[in-house]
Amino acid sequence: MSADYADLCSAILEQCFGKVVQSVADCLFSATTRTLSQIVSSTNFSRKEVGLALSVLIKFRLVNFEPSKSNAYLPEYSLRREDVICLLRYSRYIHLVQSKYGNVGASIAEELLNSGSDTATSILLKCLSNGENKSETAESYKNILLKMIADHYIIKSPELITSEEGDDLVPRFLTNECDFFVPPIIDLQLLAKIQKGESTLSNAQDSAMVWHLNYDRFHQEFRDDIMKIAIERKLGENAAECFRFILNIMYNTTDPWQRRVSNQVTYVEIKQTIERKSNNLDLLKHLDQYIALITDDSLGFLRKVGDMGGGQYVVDMESSFESLAFACVESVITERFGSKAARIFRVIRFKKFIEQEDLQKEAMIPAKEAKSLAYNLFQEQFIHVKVIKKAGGGGSGPAKAFYLFQIKTKDTVRMLLDVCYKALYNIIRRSNFEKSEHKGLIEKSQRLDSIVETMKERGESEDYIAEIVETFTPPECEILNKVKHRIKTLSKAELTLDDTIFLLQMYQHHCTTLPTGIQKFK
């Protein structure tokens, strides 16, 4: 957790929930846990407002609470810092669901995101009443919801323990790993009754079962996509399909977030699965070649570890994300310092430790240029220097020492991640600035649009409408278009940056032992 990440979280929360939530979250970010009165005293908002802000944060599952160790009646709050950035990924989640389950799935996921967590019946009700897809029946909504649960995209929240005394000051929850994905019983007849107003939501059988989106399942899908696309671009479609099957087989025996390498997969298993599920004859015919191709590739996604069962393989997450992350670092260096700097970086990475003079020779770059490029890379902390002192030297003159360039991979990635956080923060700030600077203009155009629309509905004459439209002068129009274009560019940059952040986070998860907040179930 860096200061840049703290700024970013603060900006994201301000964008979504306003100033009060922002300062409450800031206060929570800087501490492990806080009590309500501590937050009230450090934020200068009223107790009621802070309470409301905390409720919002709990509703959107960004804050956890626990009874204090010294006083069981006093709840302490803590921010789920890693989850704040997920707010930026909502659009990606929706897009994934949309491409997998169609519009019905997207509207279910949307309702879940809007409400944080909810019961199945209530979600279906909201989807049906919003009615974006009128043609769909409750039946199809129900089936897709159940399918999403079965595919682990939706997960059951911990169940509330109701004590005999009625309500506790701090509610307690029961987490049972066995029934995270047990489908709920949804009574469609009751659903229809509620829709007609003959019954209420409290009569539903599943009122105790609350569901929410399982972010890490989405992240798993994104991660697999990164790997598949990498293989597809390097080795072609058939190899990518082959790797997709290998990943599927891997998940039978491996925890998706196992850090370094997966459990073993045998050649026979792969072959049988592909024979059963695929009708790609080309792939089947040359399967062993494709597997050999993936294994021998420099990306190092697959590694052969034994000969049992026609060959045993493991998916090497560590080496795959190391090569992917450093491909990204190299492209950043290419864009910032040019391709010669990228070559220097590659040489250092390949040689592990190298002296300045050898560096020039190895990279085949003129001495002076190599020096300044290496110095720039060092200044921006992409590369590091290791000093090896020679023993002795006494008091006379400087002792001999070697200065070797090296790359501390974890430090470099961490630095880049912080740069990304900072850039994302800057983007959000800038686009807020643009919006507030041209607020009048944007609002005017919106008002004009709505007026024109109602006029068209009323069927007024074209000339009259054109006259109204002309009140928006050409220079104003020009400025507005420019602003809109700028905001669009910024938000596109936001999306792209988040891709990079995600890749680097995956590197941190698979190649280091740092705590990353990714668990199998949350």
Partner 1 sequence: MAGRGRGGKTGSLTAEQMQALGCVGKDMPQVQSAPPPTFPPVLNKPITLETTTAQSYQLLWKEDFLNRMRDSPYYIISASQEKKKTDVKDWREKAIQRLKHRAQAEFNYKAMPRELNSTSRKRTAAELRPKQVAKKNKNIEDRLKQLEQKELKSGAGAGGDNDNDEAKQESDSEREDEQEDPEAALDDEMDEENDYANDYFDNGEAYNEEDDNMDDGPVY
DSSP codes, 204-256:
-TTTT-EEEE-HHHHHHHHHHHHHHHHHHHHH-HHHHHHHHHHHHHHHHHS-T
Query: CB neighbours of 506 closer than 8 A, spacing ≥ 6?
Result: 223, 226, 321, 324, 325
Per-residue binding letters, 167-196, with partner 1 (x by CB under 8 A): xxxxx-x-----------------------
**46, 203, 272, 481: which one contacts partner 1 (CB under 8 A)?**
46
CB atoms under 10 Å from CB of 24, counted, come to 29
Count of residues of this chain found to bind partner 1 when the rule CB under 8 A is applied: 72
Q: State the DSSP code for 203.
A: G
Q: Is 496 in the site for partner 1 (CB under 8 A)?
A: yes
Part in contact with partner 1 (CB under 8 A); list of ranges 63-71, 246-254, 273-281, 293-301: 63-71
Q: State the DSSP code for 152.
A: T
CB of 162 closer than 8 Å to CB of 132? no
CB of 520 closer than 8 Å to CB of 256? yes
| Minimum separation from the CB atom of position 42 to partner 1 (A) | 15
Per-residue binding letters, 334-373, with partner 1 (x by CB under 8 A): -xx-------------------xx---------xx--xx-
Interacting positions 84-123 with partner 1 (CB under 8 A): 90-92, 94-95, 98, 113-115
| Minimum separation from the CB atom of position 75 to partner 1 (A) | 4
Q: Is 58 in the site for partner 1 (CB under 8 A)?
A: yes
**2, 18, 130, 237: which one contacts partner 1 (CB under 8 A)?**
18
Find the angle CA(237)-CA(242)-CA(243) to the nearest 5 degrees. Answer: 95
Part in contact with partner 1 (CB under 8 A); list of ranges 14-22, 189-197, 298-306, 413-421: 14-22
Q: Is 403 in the site for partner 1 (CB under 8 A)?
A: yes
CB of 345 closer than 8 Å to CB of 382? yes
**33, 38, 64, 65: which one contacts partner 1 (CB under 8 A)?**
65
Token pair for 345:
């970086």
Q: Is 433 in the site for partner 1 (CB under 8 A)?
A: no
Find where tokens 């129900």 sit: 142
Closer Cβ to partner 1, 114 or 175, answer by number: 114
> What residues pair up with 387 in beta bridges, in sequence order?
403
- Give the C-alpha separation, 376 to 355, whole Å: 16
**9, 11, 27, 53: which one contacts partner 1 (CB under 8 A)?**
53
Q: Is 165 in the site for partner 1 (CB under 8 A)?
A: no
Interacting positions 262-321 with partner 1 (CB under 8 A): none
- Give the C-alpha separation, 157 to 212, whole Å: 6
Part in contact with partner 1 (CB under 8 A); list of ranges 52-60, 244-252, 260-268, 460-468: 52-60
